[in-house]
Structures are given as C-alpha cells and as structure tokens.
C-alpha cells in the first residue's frame, strides 16, 4: 500500500493562512491650546501642563496671586493636602522669562513632585533629562543641567536677575552646586526652568532642578 500524503487545509504561505494586520486607530492630537481652554473652564488659574520624562510628574500647572494658596488647594480649586503644581506668582509667563520657577509637594506616595528626587541620581539623569512645559499655545522642551539641595532658611530661589552679569554668575553657581556634572551649558541668552520641592534630608532642605529651554529648530 502506498503511504498516504498528509494534506494541510491551506498550503503554507497561501493568503488563507496570513492573518490581516491590525489597523492602528488614527488619533488626531488635540492642540495644547484646546486642552488648556477646556481646563480653564474648570479653573481659570490653570495656565499650563508639566511633564517630566521618566518621573510620575504629569500635571496641570496653576498660578495664583501668592505662593500659599495652592500649597493646600488642588487644581480644581478644592482643599487638598496634595496641593497643586504651581508657578511662582512673580512670573509673567506670557512674556519671555529668564527663570520660570515651579513648586510642588514631595508626597510620600510619589505623586506631585514626589519623584523629582530621582534626579539626585546621575544614572537616572542619563536616561531621563527632558522636561516638557506647555503654556497657552506654546509647547516647550527643556534639558536638565543642574540638580542640588539648598537650606531654605538661608538660600532663596531667584525668579529674576539684575543684568546679564548676575544671570551669568547664577548659572555658573548652579552648575558648581550640582550633584553631578552635565554637558548642558546654558548662556545668558537662554531661558531656564526651575522645579523646587522639599527634600528628605531635613524639614528645611529643598531640592532644586534647573533645566534650559531647547532651541526651536
């Protein structure tokens, strides 16, 4: 008896055996202006959105007439121990600024600026050093260039500088105080972004992360 050949239902490689490739849904990005317009219907003091690469920081940014209100008020205007991510009241974000300063609580559960402390580790910085800040219709990207701690009872975070010379000295000082050296070298022609939160060393210690605005192509 001749051995019977095994016949598969569909020859290998035939169209019948090839599954159709899934079609990726087409998602149209919502312009930042429209996103923020929707958020301002909730709270007119929402002025932007902050995203930090590699960290659990992805929040709306608010600004009040002082730096106390949003310490214990959420972005929706309700009382909260978490507070909000808020911009220093002295910053006029509608115009170019030498230093945009933003604050947030260092929450023990890692929310708000609770993961900003990752930047103390140089290994983390090497993998994640980009920050995105969207204000009105502007989407801006920033590169971290200095990370250090200060004693809040003695040191202050500058929001303005008298002239180019004082700004240049400040930039040099920030890099000198940094926990590690980076290849990012800001100049007096640049704008910088500063994120500030409490640090775990003492009640008066603050963590400061400086980033410089990337040039638009």
Residue 87 CB contacts under 8 Å (≥ 6 apart), including other chains:
47, 48, 61, 62, 63, 93, 100, 101, 102, 103
pLDDT at 15 over 70: no
Cα-Cα end-to-end distance for the chain: 77
Domain that holds residue 54: 44-213
Let me know if residue 99 belongs to a domain. Answer: yes
* CATH number of the domain residue 185 falls in: 2.40.260.10
Residue 167 contacts residue 189 (beta carbons within 8 Å): no
pLDDT tens per residue across span 131-179: 999 998 789 999 999 999 999 988 889 999 999 999 999 999 999 999 9
* 129 has catalytic annotation: no
Which residue among the candidates 51, 64, 72, 105 is catalytic per the annotation? 105
Let me know if residue 164 belongs to a domain. Answer: yes
pLDDT tens per residue across span 93-124: 999 999 999 999 999 999 999 999 999 999 99
* 105 has catalytic annotation: yes
Reported confidence tier of residue 17, pLDDT bands at 50, 70, 90: very low
Which residue among the candidates 64, 72, 128, 198 is catalytic per the annotation? 198
Let me know if residue 27 belongs to a domain. Answer: no
Let me know if residue 14 belongs to a domain. Answer: no
Q: How many domains does the structure of the chain reveal? A: 1
pLDDT for residue 26: 54
pLDDT tens per residue across span 19-78: 455 555 555 556 777 878 888 899 999 999 999 999 999 999 999 999 999 999 999 999
């Amino acid at each position: 008896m001749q051995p019977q050949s095994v016949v598969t239902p569909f020859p290998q490689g035939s169209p019948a055996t090839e599954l159709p490739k899934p079609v990726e849904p087409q998602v149209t990005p919502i312009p930042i202006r429209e996103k923020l317009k929707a958020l301002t219907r909730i709270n007119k003091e929402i002025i932007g959105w902050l995203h930090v690469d590699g960290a659990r920081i992805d929040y709306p940014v608010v600004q009040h007439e002082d730096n106390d209100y949003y310490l214990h008020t959420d972005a929706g205007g309700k009382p909260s121990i978490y507070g909000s991510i808020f911009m220093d009241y002295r910053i006029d974000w509608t115009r170019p600024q030498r230093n945009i300063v933003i604050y947030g609580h260092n929450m023990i559960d890692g929310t708000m600026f609770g993961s900003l402390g990752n930047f103390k580790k140089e290994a983390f910085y090497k993998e994640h050093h980009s920050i995105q800040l969207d204000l009105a219709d502007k989407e801006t990207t920033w590169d971290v260039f200095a990370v250090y701690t200060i004693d809040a009872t003695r040191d202050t975070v500058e929001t303005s500088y008298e002239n180019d010379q004082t700004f240049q000295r400040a930039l040099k000082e920030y890099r000198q105080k940094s926990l590690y050296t980076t290849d990012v070298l800001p100049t007096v022609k640049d704008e910088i972004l500063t994120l500030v939160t409490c640090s775990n060393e003492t009640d008066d210690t603050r963590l400061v992360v400086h980033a410089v605005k990337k040039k638009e192509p």
